[in-house]
Amino acid sequence: MKITDLKCAVIASSPVIRITTDEGITGWSQIETPKPYLQPIVLQLKDWIVGQDPRNVERVMRRIRVRGGFKPFGSAVSAIEHALWDIAGKALNAPVHRLLGGKVRDEVRTYRTLYHREAGVGHSPADYVKWAEFGKSLPEGFTMFKLPTSFHSSMVADVPDFFYGSVQTDAPFPYPHKGVITEDGMKYLVDCVTAAKETLGTACGLAVDAGPGYMPQDALRFARAVEPLNLLWIEDMITGDYSPYVNHDVYRDVTHATTTPIHTGEQIYLRQNYKHLIESHAVNVIGPDPCDVGGLAEIKWVAEHADLHGIAIAPHGTANGILGLAALIQVCAVLPDNFIAFEYPARFEPFWYDITEGFDGVPVKNGRIAVPDRPGLGVNMLEKEARKYLTEGDTDFFD
């Protein structure tokens, strides 16, 4: 079997990858929604994989892995890896989880990142109560939620004098704010998070997405202040989403001085860049994204290395779409027992269920998803329906 073509179309701001073969088997994958600019980067990798046997996933990946980097540039390489596994599974009439060693769980737990705009609330303790009530009312029955707040939200702009810095409104990159949080800002933040957790109660776990942007002293102040709440974790306080570095030594100083679990890692590309973070016990929880870390095999390796060091894993996936959801389910089925839950990719339009086959509507029941045994990743694009959503420049995507 040989790869004959690699194509990438942008559907609703999400790059979708299609790899075709000379035996008529097609592999699909998807890059998260806010990255349409990665389409040409994906296509630049075409010449490096055409003519290769897609079933030799690692051999193909060795040809292109060097061309990735920290988020967002690892996404192009990672998504190609997902599509290769999809082809390999279909060629053997087996789900990808069987190729990765076989599932260790029949259901995978997922958590819901719930944005304030979804709940129609702002950033006050009363709003955080409504946020929690909205989350508990969702029909999917999620038992874990992640709360975007402080530097990972509009709280920085909405709360006067939240930190000793100026609010940027025109930064060309996400999460541009960084600085020392004021005393009033810290108290306000703790009151908001406390309101959310107390409303959720002990039956629902709460994680907090807080940065990047914290100075280490504030990261420790916040983590210690919320120790009585038994949070699942605080995420990316110091570095994280779109940070091109890790600062594992700074994280370690905070992690070893609080009982609140500390989390980071969604931007990290490849296992080698997790080495210091894991082996120095710099955090309690890592959150690699299978579409940023280098692929499904890569995230499994990272999870196993973390498990050897007593570190938990909660994979990232906030905007990876329905094809990304399929990949997350397959790989999370094979992760070791340090797996907590993966982030449910809720940020995609409902029409994705109409242009794909595999899921009969939202697959989450009581906060879990049954692991499917369909071949490959278990989801295929429906050409007739999907053509309606192609842009003018991508009309040859299915040709």
**What residue spans define the domains of the chain?**
3-94+381-394, 99-375
Which amino acid, residue 2? K
Same CATH fold assignment for domains 3-94+381-394 and 99-375: no
pTM: 0.97
Instruction: Tell me the C-alpha distance between 114 and 123, whole Å.
Output: 13
What pLDDT is recorded for position 234? 98
Tokens 């967002």 belong to: 72
User: What does the pLDDT read at residue 161?
Assistant: 96
Residue 333 has pLDDT above 90, yes or no: yes
- Per-residue pLDDT of 288-325, as tens digits, reads 999 999 999 999 999 999 999 999 999 999 777 899 99
What are the C-alpha distances in Å from 234 to residues 87, 189, 224, 264, 283? 37, 13, 11, 8, 10
pLDDT at 172: 85
Looking at residue 319, its pLDDT comes to 78
Per-residue pLDDT, 171:
87
3-state secondary structure the chain: CCEEEEEEEEECCEEEEEEEECCCCEEEEECCCCCHHHHHHHHCCHHHHCCCCCCCHHHHHHHHHHHCCCCCCHHHHHHHHHHHHHHHHHHHCCEHHHHCCCCCCCEEEEEEECCHHHHCCCCCHHHHHHHHHHHHHCCCCCCEEEEECHHHCCHHHHCCCCECCCCCCCCCCCCCCCECECHHHHHHHHHHHHHHHHHHCCCCEEEEECCCCECHHHHHHHHHHCHHHCCCEEECCCCCCCCCCCCHHHHHHHHCCCCCCEEECCCCCCHHHHHHHHHCCCCCEECCCCCCCCCHHHHHHHHHHHHHCCCEECCCCCCCHHHHHHHHHHHHCCCCCCECCEECCCCCCCCHHHHEECCCCCCCECCEEECCCCCECCCEECHHHHHHHCCHHHCCCCC
Candidates 3.40.50.1820, 3.20.20.70, 3.40.50.620, 3.20.20.120; correct CATH number of 99-375? 3.20.20.120
Counted residue by residue, the chain has a size of 399
pLDDT at 395 over 90: yes
* Pairwise CA distance, residues 81 & 297, whole Å: 9
Q: How confident is the model at residue 347 (pLDDT cuts 50, 70, 90)?
A: confident
pLDDT tens readout for residues 240-256? 999 999 999 999 999 99
pLDDT score at 283: 98
Q: What is the pLDDT of residue 318?
A: 77
User: What percent of the chain is predicted at pLDDT more than 70?
Assistant: 100
Mean pLDDT check: name the lowest of 43-47, 52-56, 123-127, 347-351. Answer: 347-351
CATH class of this structure's domain 3-94+381-394: alpha beta
Is residue 109 a contact partner of residue 144, using CB atoms and an 8 Å limit? yes
Q: What is the pLDDT of residue 169?
A: 87
Q: Per residue in 93-137, pLDDT tens?
A: 999 999 999 999 999 999 999 999 999 999 999 999 999 999 999
| Residue 145 pLDDT level (bands cut at 50, 70, 90) | very high
Percent of all residues in the chain with a pLDDT value above 90, rounded to a whole number: 94
Give 89-94's long-range contacts (Cβ < 8 A, gap of 24+): 89/375, 89/376, 89/377, 90/25, 90/27, 90/375, 90/376, 91/1, 91/23, 91/25, 91/55, 92/375, 93/375, 94/375
Is residue 66 over pLDDT 80?
Answer: yes
Tell me the pLDDT tens digit for each residue of 182-238.
Answer: 999 999 999 999 999 999 999 999 999 999 999 999 999 999 999 999 999 999 999
Among 332, 321, 330, 315, CA closest to 376: 330
Residue-level pLDDT at 216: 98
Q: What is the mean pLDDT of the chain?
A: 96
Provide the Cα torsion 233, 234, 239, 243; round to 10°: 70
Pull the structure tokens for residue 123: 């950033």
